[in-house]
Structure 1
């Protein structure tokens, strides 16, 4: 996303009975994240317009892959359900949980694929309103329910207004440019433990991160001090902390030269993600050169 939203929560001010939203913003002077407080009369139209929701909705290739995966998952559940019915077993309606509903796109895909009921949770209240309006104008208004909650706040029970039972399938779009920035692993892990049936499929079910070492003066310039008068030698050697930049690799052309073959860094299984893990990787450079950085990409599965 070019400008991802990071809304932490919404609270009620009991003195005025108004909603207060906390929105994180990067201070351009200090480069630090700061919280801004907005009351319920704040217009979030600009926030939504500047976010990545539009880009995701118009990403045809991405959406087709999601749709294919959801159709396959629902069909597999339906086939098993029909086999259970043929054996005289009691079955429940196909229930899908959508975490991070956004515009409700994945919920609509699940309903169209044959899910009997879809419960979608979304934290950002303005997007909750958008999703509900989208669902209302669709053919699946009677099958999709949008709730304004974080997924780890969702409860299960017949008397509860959230999930009536454990879900058969989880669909989620929690992936950011760095893959794991939106609590992907924690959300999937919590859902698998509390909200899903045993061995319920996840869409996506995992991801793989790949990397490649490159030589690039433009990347290297971001890790050194230069052009400043009076710098001491030790200051020039200060490389600072590792920094990840969200860019298209094509933007670096022609100032980029591969120094290694692409290599796999890590595989993530969202349904059985570890609490924490790390790995050390050794790779060979194709030739002697100053390595200005690395390019990372990730692919879901």
Structure 2
């Protein structure tokens, strides 16, 4: 579907009620394996929502209904709210609250000259909030919900850079993003809450360094293979070369004590063995301490 503007009438279900809403779809926000995220505005300009049009055949009817039921019950300040959905044969879409500041990714990488970079305190608060959302999925949901898509592109920002996780429930298929996948998932397809913890450790490094986890562009190791962000950062941390490690856009405006604590959390999350990684309860508590 090309970038542009489309008009449609969506039959949205919110709770037990049903309503027909004329909407204008515009501005493609990005593309995920499961669907195409769009921004939508009601025809009478009542407000904005974010609509995700799911790819045909991505889910069966039962899987889609299960996802909607689970998403509709999610209620946490750091999770994006599902406000409605539409299902017509194999044409399906999900309607979420609109996050005006977009994704964390757009505030870290490839910034235009006129865009102000995030300061250190804001970065730590975003990490702390995202960790709270992930903790809620792991601890307060029964059974625990594995995010499957922890990455900067799926951390959306509201007013005041308030973070909320999106795309946190994919029941039928897991498509790992290069650079974020835990070793056990790459080796055997095993997926647990500790896989999310590993991915979150990668996010911490991205926030600190201002560098993308993928595609790799951190040089090569002795065998000539490209270095991942995790490998590149580990080498610099071992040498305590923080000047090279930390995002140059911060212009040294950060606390070295907080940096060391954040890096310690990241290293714990990135342990190769899943059992050695902390629970998100502990990660969230540690980041909350740094951000206060």
TM-score by length of 2: 0.25
- Higher Rg of the two aligned structures: 1
TM-score by length of 1: 0.24
